[in-house]
Amino acid sequence: MNQTIFTHNPFPKVGIRPIIDGRRRGVRESLEDQTMAMAKAAAKLISDNLRYPDGTPVECVIADTTIGGRFEAAQCANKFAANNVGVSLSVTPCWCYGTETMDIAPTIPKAVWGFNGTERPGAVYLACMLAGYAQRGMPAYGIYGREVQNRDETTKIPADVAEKILRFAKAGLAVAMMKGKSYLSIGTSAMGIAGSFVDVNFMQDYLGIAPENMDECEILRRIEEGIYDKEEYKKALAWMKKNLKEGKDYNPPKIQKSRAEKDKDWEFIAKMAIIVRDMMAGNPKLKEMGFGEEAVGRNAIAGGFQGQRQWTDHWPNGDVAEVMCNTSFDWNGKKMPQILATENDSLNGICMLLMWLLTNKASMFADVRTYWSDAAVKRATGKGLPKDAKAGIIHLLNSGSCCLDAAGEMKEKGKSVFKNWWDVTQKDIDATLKATKWVPAGVEYFRGGG
């Protein structure tokens, strides 16, 4: 299996904080079981329904005791810090002491679930805490059920509450997984595209991602010095020759590349695909070969390849490398997608990253080329659009990082879907490859071919 960004970066956990009214001699004691039951129910809901990008269940960490004041809040914080907790969910069925029990970790996404019951005011604590977090400049997500529940229904999480908990946990984990990782720009800006000017402040301050830059010539250096797994290269090239079917060459005959030149391009492209992946996430094989620095990669959770024009005016473009990174399979079989934006369009790359982290599925990148109304289609073809497309269709087209998952050949119950990579079957892979053609690059635009 390919090394991934998470090989050396453990997944963050969701921390559950059971908050309780700290008054002893009857009050706290009467709430202990109910409060802890809420925490355990929330943890079970999350672990049963959410998966990390590698397909394993999301892990939760529950505070050792209920939290009635600052001492227990601090003990909980220590446990969370020791267990790589990146998301915090506080749960309570009652009024508690607001700022004395709040999670004060400034960079961890937070939510508060206040139980909707009549015996004790979980809603009051919820409102108090959201106001407290807002006053102290720490965003928090409030969770409250629509319908009143009985006191003994603590382990029965209503559908609307469950949806809010899962949505928060998934979004919070996406934030936590980005922290401390990097975005790797291979090259710089492409053709004046605004999104390919990487905004360091946005990446670092808003996402917690460190922008990294490597010149495209690093690919050439690694090819020339043999800094790639030679056995994997042979495997990848053989797989590409067998499965990536060339389409028609639409270039004018006088400027078409020869068969020998195209074969040489495929050899270059196979090396490039492996090298770009290694630049982002590293490859332990390189350490065995004596390339310790290159073996660790750049800790990149996402990246982009400039390509146009300085690269593509002379060398084959990056389309195959980009597609194979973003797709849920390659020559090694099914795999975790690796986000790589075409033209180093970092803003589209971040959108792809967020989509992947929120869904665990590959992300499609495409330009919106044309909007076709029903009337326009009828004028051009003589036939109108089907009923479910009467509002019109858009034509999506781009050279670059459109994952093969978007071919529509992966099916569930007869419908085309994007699948979690661990659910992709060999039948899905074969059907997708069969439905895909790799047309030689237009050399008027891509002088280096590809």
Q: How far is CA 383 from CA 374, 375, 388, in A?
A: 9, 9, 15
Q: Residue count of the chain, please give it.
A: 450
Q: How far apart are CA 257 and CA 441, in angstroms?
A: 10
* CA dist., res. 46 & res. 450, Å (int): 45
DSSP string, 199-252: -HHIIIIII--EEEEE-THHHHHHHHTT-S-HHHHHHHHHHHHHHS-B----S-
Three-class SS state of 181: coil
Active-site entry in 54, 367, 374, 423: 367
Q: Is the dihedral of CA 207, 208, 214, 219 positive or negative?
A: negative
* Catalytic site includes residue 343: yes
Query: In this structure, are residues 54 and 336 in contact, taking their beta carbons and an 8 Å threshold?
Result: yes
29 φ, ψ to 5°? -60, -35
Cβ atoms of 276 and 340 within 8 Å: the answer is yes
CB 34 within 8 Å of CB 80: no
Q: Give the neighbor-by-neighbor strand order of the sheet with 182-186.
A: 210-214, 182-186, 300-305, 339-342
Q: How far from 221 is each of 82, 272, 294, 310, 337, CA to CA, in Å?
A: 41, 11, 12, 16, 26
In terms of phi and psi (left: phi > 0; alpha: psi -120 to 50; beta: otherwise), the region of 157 is beta
Strand 329-330 with 333-334, pairing: antiparallel
For 362, residues 6+ apart whose C-beta sits below 8 A from its C-beta are 326, 327, 328, 337, 356, 403, 405, 406, 418, 421
404: three-class secondary structure by DSSP = helix
Integer Cα distance of 110 and 233 in angstroms? 45
Strand partners for 411: 416
Q: Which of 265, 343, 405, 428 is catalytic?
A: 343
Contact 306, 188 (CB under 8 A): yes
Query: Active-site positions?
Result: 343, 367
